[in-house]
Structure 1
């Protein structure tokens, strides 16, 4: 019975704060959990429930902020005991918003950011909530780098489990190609190690299959040697030069060393670039070799046949380059992405790219084309779930706008360009570049992403380690 001196507002907030979770269950959880439990109505709940993508607005019944790896198994068991859906959040940079859930439990790993480097073996142990910048800052003093993504605020966990495209892909492969082992909490709440020698099928599955098989609490990577200064930069073209630049790029990328990774981008640059408000074609690159002079020659061979209107090219610290485009993807931006692989930049493809690129007379969408091959392409197709190692290019079409009034137009642009490029698609989906698609059949998406043979193998692993699909709030792979 409500006390006479207790206001209805307080009573209502207390009732609303624990939907589906009995008080005695919360008491039991607090006794085992060393982190912070955030309930609706509590101070900080609104901030705690927010995710990177501003389009995603969900209200969990409970946010459990882990303070130690041991907290993970506690929450995994708890979620099953109270029969509520469980979302796992690492660094929180997932475009689909898989790190949250309405009326369920969010396991937030964001406080687990320890990174330890063994300079002798060049291995790096990374906790589940670490960001790319945490790893880069830890490895750079030793002349090392783990091949990661292109935005320093990205979480290492989600990036790795999906594959890990970035600025070192041609030199050293995907992030998963550099993974040595992982510590994983399974749906049963057990802690297992996974590597080529221990639980090898599970190790295969987590290298591209997403967070379907458990919660990784620690990753161990083989780092790669990287000079203190990398030769990197952007060649920037106004619209009159696009056709010449694209044709030159198509030819140039057929015969360049593995040390050179490039990403071709169409967008209206941010105001800080001081390039005006017209769309631009940007060819960004990193030379991962120690001989900067050799890298300069490779870039000069492109510049000679496609002189840029503007260029910003120089040796710079790796951490500086890795954070160079962070401003494009701020937390809270409204985001929607699509992606596909393709193999040729013939005239038909160029017409689509130039037409769609020119349509962008706003700041708030863009599209990247990752040039692949090199170390990425030498990994056997069956070695990881990541699809299509033969792909020459990978397109990511993305929106990053602040105003809800622009939602329909920006999403339509992303969908329209992806639809135009479907005719040239070579197969596969990179799950880290897949946005939220309400009502999408998860099995159909998984089949499109991985193909039937890999999906069959992934479902076998899922059945073994998560037969009840506890870890389903992701780009889901249903058990067989």
Structure 2
């Protein structure tokens, strides 16, 4: 049921695997008749295992993988278990695209419900703002069409509430975008000790980048391409991806990163490399490999990246696994675009980090989970909130509440009481 091989010790009484959208209202009615609380799974990519709850019913939507594309209106209607990788591939022949998740195996259901920080989000906004309509099954088994005109409160909650959403979404109607004709990347890898000057340079350079460039810092063990040393050193990577209408435009977009005063300190660099969505997904698979155990958390902050990443650099230097990394997207989503839409997803800071503890040996579970908790403890005083899609909701009872602006959290609580007064649907793992 989960992508993560670190399995929580939680077991539902029954799993219902829906073969069609029609099965979902029947499953909800069965659960109500038996007094079973409901959890929902689309693709199982929840790092902390939100779909798996003790007792009750798990409705598994993994069989709902249909997508219908209307190129004329630049829209698509997709079922919740269509993956981002599959959607991108299906849209490409039509010259269309969507800001799907950075990991290709992530299903759209949980991704869109949680807000959706994906490819080209700095330009297009969180993926949830491109949801035009949903079909949802409520706690009483009723099937509702929801949009800004119909059932707008439930539609608002479905765009950001994440694993605490109090209905089952069986389809999403998405607004689509022109497919970038060219994608290019620029990458620098520096010794971890150079993090301070690197973040100062790259953060200043980022002010000259268009919104169509994703810029991220990654603190990790060097890949073989970055260093042939043994053991491989820890590095601070500056990675930028440009989405453009032409090769020339992509190269021009990356121009502010072409001249680096620290270039002679870099272990390696690649400038203006042409790439594709498929290649981007292959890179993601290498960073977040399948069949591994993972513990993840997130933090929004208003601190600058030099301040925010310094304690995490100390943590990555002592990480017990060489697969562990810290990801820090610079402006992961346009705050302006997020605020233009009435959605539950909340942008809670000007900077953002996500430490990922990744390992293979079950005997190393405790030491790796402790590493994550210690790393987060070091930066939490700088925090302003969390991103609910990847927050470690088991770490503290405040995690879910702190993933939303206070007014949004109270609105979600009120809507939960209105649409699910008998608490049929499981809420967040540790609601405050």
SS in structure 1 of the partner of residue 52 of structure 2: coil
CA distance in structure 1 between the aligned counterparts of 2:344 and 2:431, rounded to whole angstroms: 12
With a CA cutoff of 8 Å and minimum separation of 6, indicate the structure with the bigger relative contact order: 2
SS in structure 2 of the partner of residue 167 of structure 1: coil
Q: CA deviation at 1:339?
A: 1.1
Kindly report the root-mean-square deviation, in angstroms, between the aligned alpha carbons of the 2 structures: 2.4
1:365 and 1:400 in contact (8 A); partners too:
yes
CA distance in structure 2 between the aligned counterparts of 1:455 and 1:240, rounded to whole angstroms: 40
Q: CA deviation at 1:315?
A: 1.7
Q: Against the structure 1 CA distance between its residues 124 and 413, is the aligned structure 2 distance closer, same or farther, given a 3 Å change threshold?
A: same
Deviates more, 1:403-412 or 1:152-161: 403-412
2:42 and 2:81 in contact (8 A); partners too:
yes
Paired residues for 1:402-441 under 5 Å:
402-425=360-383, 427-437=384-394, 440-441=396-397
Larger Cα Rg: Structure 1 or Structure 2?
Answer: 1
User: In the alignment, which residue of structure 2 is the partner of 1:253?
Assistant: 206
Q: Against the structure 1 CA distance between its residues 73 and 153, is the aligned structure 2 distance closer, same or farther, given a 3 Å change threshold?
A: same
Q: Please give the TM-score of this superposition, normalised by the length of structure 1.
A: 0.82
User: C-alpha deviations, 1:197-218, integer Å up to 9, x for none?
Assistant: 1111111111111242201000
Q: Please give the TM-score of this superposition, normalised by the length of structure 2.
A: 0.90
Matching residue within 205, 218, 241 for 1:265: 218
Q: CA deviation at 1:388?
A: 2.7
The count of corresponding residues between Structure 1 and Structure 2 is 425
2:242 is the counterpart of 1:287: yes
CA distance in structure 2 between the aligned counterparts of 1:65 and 1:274, rounded to whole angstroms: 46
Matching residue within 155, 158, 165 for 2:107: 155
2:348 is the counterpart of 1:394: no
Q: CA deviation at 1:258?
A: 0.8
CA distance in structure 2 between the aligned counterparts of 1:320 and 1:386, rounded to whole angstroms: 29
2:60 is the counterpart of 1:102: no
User: In the alignment, which residue of structure 2 is the partner of 1:186?
Assistant: 138
User: In the alignment, which residue of structure 2 is the partner of 1:454?
Assistant: 408
Q: Structure 1, unaligned stretches of length 5 or more?
A: 1-48
SS in structure 1 of the partner of residue 298 of structure 2: strand
Paired residues for 1:48-63 under 5 Å:
49=1, 51-63=3-15
2:227 and 2:267 in contact (8 A); partners too:
no
User: In the alignment, which residue of structure 1 is the partner of 2:96?
Assistant: 144
Matching residue within 69, 80, 89 for 1:117: 69
1:182 and 1:195 in contact (8 A); partners too:
yes
Q: CA deviation at 1:322?
A: 3.0
SS in structure 2 of the partner of residue 458 of structure 1: helix
Q: Against the structure 1 CA distance between its residues 460 and 374, is the aligned structure 2 distance closer, same or farther, given a 3 Å change threshold?
A: closer
SS in structure 2 of the partner of residue 280 of structure 1: strand
SS in structure 1 of the partner of residue 69 of structure 2: strand
Q: CA deviation at 1:346?
A: 6.1
2:30 is the counterpart of 1:78: yes
User: In the alignment, which residue of structure 1 is the partner of 2:298?
Assistant: 339
CA distance in structure 2 between the aligned counterparts of 1:231 and 1:346, rounded to whole angstroms: 24
SS in structure 2 of the partner of residue 324 of structure 1: helix
Deviates more, 1:307-316 or 1:112-121: 307-316
CA distance in structure 1 between the aligned counterparts of 2:122 and 2:56, rounded to whole angstroms: 40
User: C-alpha deviations, 1:2-33, integer Å up to 9, x for none?
Assistant: xxxxxxxxxxxxxxxxxxxxxxxxxxxxxxxx
User: C-alpha deviations, 1:313-362, integer Å up to 9, x for none?
Assistant: 52222232134211333444222111111233265435324322333363
2:320 and 2:368 in contact (8 A); partners too:
no
Q: Against the structure 1 CA distance between its residues 270 and 407, is the aligned structure 2 distance closer, same or farther, given a 3 Å change threshold?
A: farther
User: In the alignment, which residue of structure 2 is the partner of 1:133?
Assistant: 85
Q: CA deviation at 1:392?
A: 2.3
1:228 and 1:317 in contact (8 A); partners too:
no
Q: Structure 2, unaligned stretches of length 5 or more?
A: none
